[in-house]
Amino acid sequence: MNRFYKKYRTVGNSINMLLLLSVLLPLLALSYFNHPSPADDYCYIDTVFKYSWLEAMNFYYSGWTGRYFGIFLNHSNPLLFHSITGFKVIPVVLFAAMLFALYNLFRHLTPTLSRAAHLGFAGVVFFLYILKMASIVEGFYWMAAFVTYTVPNILTLLWVTVVLDWYRQDTKKKLLAVLANFLVFAIIGCSETNLIIMVMLLGALWFYRLVFHRKIDGLMMSLLIVGALSIYLFLAAPGNQARLDGNPLSRNIVFSVVSSFKQLAILSFAWIFKTPLLIFSMAWVIVLSKISVGARNYFSMPVWFAILLYIGVLAGQIFPSYYGIGIEPSLRAVNCVYLFFLIGWFYVIGVIFHYFHKRYAPNFPLSFLRYGVLYSLLVISIAFSFFRSANVKMIYSDLLKGRAAAFSRETDERYAMIQNSKTRIVYLPPIKTRPSSLYFDDIKTNRDHWWNKCMAGYFGKEAIIMKETK
């Protein structure tokens, strides 16, 4: 192996780890200041206290949404145990779970590389993800949002590796099959977006095994059955009708398909040209060139199939917003699209490289000078993107300028006001410091607003109202 490449990988792994830490450490620190949001977090548990755990979940399933697993997770949030600390711990668990899922995926795709390289790849994807995420608060800190998007995204990455393990191993197949089927059930039950992702992945698995291997196995059959039952459970929910009837543009298939691809094109342009993605792609090609053909086995699929699946998964995630309510996808849904955009981007590059490398066997002789040029481009593009990233500025300024701490302090003061109040009606001051990385929304001056009612019910008050300010 080229001695410059060895040095490149050693230094590269260190750089990748620094990139990971540059965004992970402030995010972990922000977790300490996180709190349950008045936007929905209290509503789920207030309903549990009023009607019981099972009845509360049935209430949401029958009256609002078919997201049965998301309903289960939201109705099990730390407020059920009167814990605020849980909302500080869960984001840390999310970060760890996402990094593990990314690490585990790359470990399966490139088994001959070192653990440091796998962790470095996970760090690069996580770094790029944080740079351009549509909403950090909805991705990691607001529980009502992250349980229906971030959690199933992580589970989807784990599902892929479980399926790969099932086809690779000769033992423990029953346990892996049970886990794979449970993950399908859980992922589909979190949101419409993840339902579509899983449908496409299951369809791709069936198509690939049937067309290219001409085989049907027990795992394929069980996944198909569990997937079909899960989709039925999701779509049969009476609560779905409430959302579909909310906009005259809903259920317009042509409008939804066209709008989905247009929105994907707009989003992709920013993700490709306003991040260091292209430079990292060049580095990825160099790494791929040093991996033997046999070790690139998981990239051995038709290029057209990989590209179609990639575009389909991305556009499919945008489709539910236009079809269901006739508007652009929410920021939390865009977070989901972006994560799979990044992972799919590097995978498709691997598939394309593997295809051409097997047929034409090009060499990538890089001198010290060329490695130096690549490093220089990487450092410049990373620095430029890092310091211009609105998300990076936000998380560091919220932390270093004390906004996160002030937000937490004001929220704690409101808890004390509620608990110390002897009256049935409590008036709370608005949160003055609103760090964008942690704050999503608040109660209103209208006592009959849903969030006000939920918070009042949770704390055993007749009403909780925000004081009007001039």
Contact 45, 458 (CB under 8 A): yes
As a whole number of angstroms, the distance between CA 248 and CA 324 comes to 10
Is the pLDDT reported for residue 324 higher than 80?
no
Average pLDDT, stretch 396-422?
Answer: 97
Contact 460, 446 (CB under 8 A): no
Specify the range with the lowest mean pLDDT, choosing from 87-91, 115-119, 401-405.
Answer: 115-119
User: In sequence order, which ranges of 251-367 are alpha helices (DSSP H)?
Assistant: 253-273, 277-289, 303-325, 331-360
Q: pLDDT, tens digit, for every residue of 347-367?
A: 999 999 999 887 776 665 655
Q: pLDDT, tens digit, for every residue of 255-304?
A: 889 999 999 999 999 999 999 999 999 989 988 888 888 888 899 999 99
Give helix 3-31 / helix 86-109 axis angle, nearest 10°. Answer: 160
Is the pLDDT reported for residue 386 higher than 90?
yes
Q: pLDDT, tens digit, for every residue of 450-463?
A: 999 999 999 999 99
Q: What does the pLDDT read at residue 1? A: 45
At 445, the pLDDT band (50, 70, 90 cuts) reads very high
Average pLDDT, stretch 297-319?
Answer: 95
As a whole number of angstroms, the distance between CA 43 and CA 53 comes to 13
Average pLDDT, stretch 169-196?
Answer: 92
Q: Which residues pair with 463 in a beta bridge?
A: 425
- C-alpha angle with apex 464: 460 to 470, nearest 5 degrees? 165
Specify the range with the lowest mean pLDDT, choosing from 28-37, 91-100, 185-194, 279-288.
Answer: 279-288
Q: Can you tell me whether residue 442 is helix, strand or coil?
A: coil
Is the pLDDT reported for residue 130 higher than 60?
yes
Is the pLDDT reported for residue 470 higher than 80?
no
What percent of the chain is modeled with pLDDT above 90?
Answer: 78
Q: Can you tell me whether residue 2 is helix, strand or coil?
A: coil
Cα separations in angstroms, 403 against 33, 136, 393, 399, 431: 10, 16, 13, 6, 11
Phi, psi of 427 (to 5 degrees): -105, 125
Contact 6, 371 (CB under 8 A): no
Element counts in the chain: helices (H) and strands (E):
21, 2
As a whole number of angstroms, the distance between CA 280 and CA 378 comes to 7
Half-sphere exposure of 47 (CA within 13 A, CB side): 23
At 72, the pLDDT band (50, 70, 90 cuts) reads very high
What percent of the chain is modeled with pLDDT above 70?
Answer: 93
As a whole number of angstroms, the distance between CA 436 and CA 398 comes to 8
Cα separations in angstroms, 62 against 255, 299, 331: 28, 43, 26
How many CB atoms sit inside 10 A of residue 363's CB?
Answer: 7
The pTM of the full predicted model, rounded to 2 decimals, is 0.94
Give the pair of three-digit tokens for residue 50.
Answer: 């009023």
Burial of 54 (0-12, 13-18, 19+ CB in 10 A): exposed
How many CB atoms sit inside 10 A of residue 4's CB?
Answer: 16
Q: Can you tell me whether residue 196 is helix, strand or coil?
A: helix
Average pLDDT, whole number, for the chain?
91
Is the pLDDT reported for residue 8 higher than 60?
no
Q: What does the pLDDT read at residue 379? A: 85
Q: What does the pLDDT read at residue 216? A: 93
As a whole number of angstroms, the distance between CA 407 and CA 396 comes to 15
Average pLDDT, stretch 61-82?
Answer: 94
As a whole number of angstroms, the distance between CA 318 and CA 328 comes to 8
Q: Which of 33, 36, 42, 34 is nearest to 464 (CA)?
A: 42
Is the pLDDT reported for residue 77 higher than 60?
yes
Q: What does the pLDDT read at residue 249? A: 58
Name 159's Cβ contacts closer than 8 Å, sequence gap at least 6.
180, 183, 184, 187, 198, 201
Q: pLDDT, tens digit, for every residue of 100-114?
A: 999 999 999 999 898
Task: Give residue 292's identity as a one-letter amino acid code.
Answer: S
Average pLDDT, stretch 21-25?
Answer: 98
Integer-rounded Cα radius of gyration of the chain:
24
Domain positions in the chain are: 3-398, 404-466
Q: What does the pLDDT read at residue 151? A: 98
